[in-house]
């Protein structure tokens, strides 16, 4: 599934990063102030975007502290390492925190590890980490984790799991834009999932359709159908689906379609709204 993707990943990283600071404050750490002095100044440094200094100070404190203080320092050390592109170091700091008794710390650590897995293309693991992290968090932060988990599962062609995560996120989201994004994904994943489960493509009334791609691999067609379904839902168009056909030399092909439409003119207008494709006869 292709998403508004880099932007959403960046947004997700920022959400988790900012919320990590909030969680530390909630746990009683006198950080996130305007000053970066004191033994816990790494929190303020991180909140200000000074990741290099935050990382160094948090790592030093992590090595000297114990108990909850050590976990809080490890969280900032790991998040700062991730922000600096030190992925292996981030994983070393964050992995032990996923079993923390502090739900906020465990959730944010798991969510960041999920983003790392997604960036590596391990979408199944990313979905598992993010969905587990969502359960440890609350509000918009948990909703964002569920959205990211759904996107990861969709890329892994686990459309049922994707829909489930989007639905969970929609019940948690307070932010109107985040809720709208989740509702949009629910609609598109539902349309693509129904088509993917139909084997040969669902019959849709109307003599014309918009063809958005032809693939030799079903997984690639399903991923494109999810993307197309999201775009169709945003434009108020019928859902997407995948139709199997026999191509050249008898090779099996998978065609991604949106529609049918009652006229060629309506299909042409839909094509414009979708940003591309070609109008074809609808294979009812």
Per residue of the chain (284 residues), what is the pLDDT tens digit? 444 433 333 334 433 433 443 333 333 343 344 444 445 688 888 888 889 999 999 999 998 888 999 999 999 999 999 989 999 999 999 999 999 999 999 999 999 999 999 888 899 999 999 999 999 999 999 999 998 898 888 888 788 888 888 889 989 989 888 888 888 887 776 655 544 443 334 435 688 999 999 988 887 887 888 888 778 877 888 878 888 888 777 788 889 998 888 888 988 998 998 988 999 988 76
Residue 233 pLDDT: 78
Q: In three state form, how does the secondary structure of 219-244 look?
A: HHHHHHHHHHHHHHHHCCCCCEEEEE
pLDDT of 235 reads 80
**Every domain of the chain and the residues it spans:** 5-174, 208-281
pLDDT of residue 191: 56
Distance between CA atoms of 77 and 68, rounded to whole angstroms? Answer: 14
CATH of domain 5-174: 1.25.40.10
CB atoms within 10 A of CB 9: 16
Q: What is residue 178's predicted lDDT score, i.e. its pLDDT? A: 85
130, 152 contact by CB (below 8 A): yes
pLDDT for position 218 = 81
pLDDT value, residue 33: 40
Report the distance separating Cα 20 and Cα 1, nearest Å: 28
CA separation for the pair 255, 228 (Å, rounded): 12
Query: What is the enclosing helix (H) or strand (E) of 215?
Result: strand 208-215
CA angle 77, 79, 80 (to 5 degrees): 65
CA dihedral 36, 37, 42, 44 (to 10 degrees): -30
Q: What is the pLDDT of residue 189?
A: 66
Measured torsion, CA atoms of residues 21, 25, 31, 33, in degrees rounded to the nearest 10: 90
Q: What is the pLDDT of residue 118?
A: 87
């Amino acid at each position: 599934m292709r998403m508004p993707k880099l932007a959403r990943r960046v947004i997700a990283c920022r959400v988790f990063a900012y919320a990590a600071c909030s969680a530390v404050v909630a746990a009683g750490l006198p950080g996130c102030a305007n000053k970066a002095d004191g033994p816990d100044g790494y929190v303020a440094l991180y909140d200000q975007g000074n990741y290099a200094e935050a990382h160094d100070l948090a790592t030093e404190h992590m090595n000297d502290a114990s108990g909850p203080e050590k976990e809080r320092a490890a969280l900032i050390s790991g998040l700062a390492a991730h922000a600096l592109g030190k992925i292996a170091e981030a994983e070393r700091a964050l992995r032990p925190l996923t079993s923390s008794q502090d739900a906020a710390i465990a959730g944010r650590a798991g969510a960041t590890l999920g983003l790392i897995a997604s960036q590596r293309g391990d979408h199944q693991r990313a979905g598992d980490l993010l969905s587990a992290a969502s359960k440890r968090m609350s509000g918009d932060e948990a909703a964002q984790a569920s959205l990211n988990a759904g996107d990861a599962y969709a890329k892994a062609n686990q459309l049922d799991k994707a829909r489930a995560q989007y639905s969970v996120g929609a019940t948690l989201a307070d932010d109107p834009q985040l809720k709208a994004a989740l509702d949009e994904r629910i609609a598109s994943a539902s349309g693509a999932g129904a088509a993917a489960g139909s084997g040969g493509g669902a019959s849709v009334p109307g003599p014309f359709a918009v063809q958005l791609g032809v693939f030799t691999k079903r997984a690639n067609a399903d991923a494109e159908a999810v993307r197309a379904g999201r775009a169709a839902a945003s434009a108020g168009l019928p859902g997407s689906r995948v139709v199997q056909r026999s191509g050249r030399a008898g090779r099996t092909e998978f065609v991604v379609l949106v529609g049918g439409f009652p006229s060629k003119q309506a299909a042409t207008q839909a094509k414009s709204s979708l940003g591309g494709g070609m109008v074809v006869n609808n294979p009812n």
